[in-house]
Amino acid sequence: MPCIAFGRFDDSVSSGSIKAYVAEFISTLLFVFAGVGSAIAYNKLTADAALDPAGLVAVAVCHGLALFVAVAIAANISGGHVNPAVTFGLALGGQITIITGLFYWIAQLLGAIAASYLLKFVTGGLAVPIHGVAAGVGATEGVVMEIIITFALVYTVFATAVDPKKGTLGTIAPIAIGFIVGANILAAGPFSGGSMNPARSFGPAVASGNFAGNWIYWVGPLVGGGLAGLTYSNVFMNYDHAPLVSEF
């Protein structure tokens, strides 16, 4: 059974921990800048705010590629979470302490906010799109969709990057994580928006000043990520002791 631990404050402000927070800030900034930027760029090129099938594919591919890189460049420093829902799942799965996880959240949210404001600046003040459920899709359906796709993401993280039995599979963890995000956006984008990441949704909401429905992208991903962490760690992983580290 994994051990969920609160942790000690002094362990969470060590030199190594601070480097991890900086890495999470940078990786989340780069991911959100590319992901949200792809949506802004597509809207500008088509002069149409409605996302058509080609736009959906372009945005999904961009998010998948950007996350692949964001995870890879931070993996050896912070574990490359780049997502509060991933951090939450890892905390419930005994891979990171609660205190350190909260600092990860702060770094990720600040990175997403910085990326969104940078996009607003470099695009000459173009609107920063926010996540929202599609017409005809209710909040409940949106939450359930986000639970399912975030479960898939965090489950993939555990299987390819966390499980001690992963062996050489760990070398493809970043690309597997990028692939599942791209696939989930293709599946869920037209319905819930396909966030899977509270920071990815929160940053644009702050920059745009529009928090309508933002709670959906906290509740859904955190529930889905938490369920994945509890499921994989309790069913498929055996612990002689709890790792409780701040990285994979």
CATH superfamily of 9-236: Glycerol uptake facilitator protein. (1.20.1080.10)
Q: What is the pLDDT of residue 241?
A: 47
Query: According to the model, what pLDDT value does residue 246 have?
Result: 40
Cβ atoms 89, 226 nearer than 8 A? yes
The pTM of the full predicted model, rounded to 2 decimals, is 0.94
pLDDT at 60: 97
Supply the pLDDT for residue 1.
66
Are the CB atoms for 33 and 20 separated by under 8 Å? no
The string of pLDDT tens digits covering residues 125-161 is 999 999 999 999 999 999 999 999 999 999 999 999 9
Residue 62: both structure tokens together:
């961009």
70 vs 21, 100, 120, 171, 245, CA distance in Å?
Answer: 14, 20, 21, 15, 20
Predicted local confidence at residue 52, as pLDDT: 76
pLDDT at 248: 40
Q: What is the pLDDT of residue 5?
A: 84
Residue 36 contacts residue 128 (beta carbons within 8 Å): yes
d(CA 19, CA 76): 11
Residues of the chain under the 70 pLDDT cut: 1, 48-51, 239-248
Per domain, the residue ranges of the chain are 9-236
Q: Are 28 and 199 in contact (CB under 8 A)?
A: yes
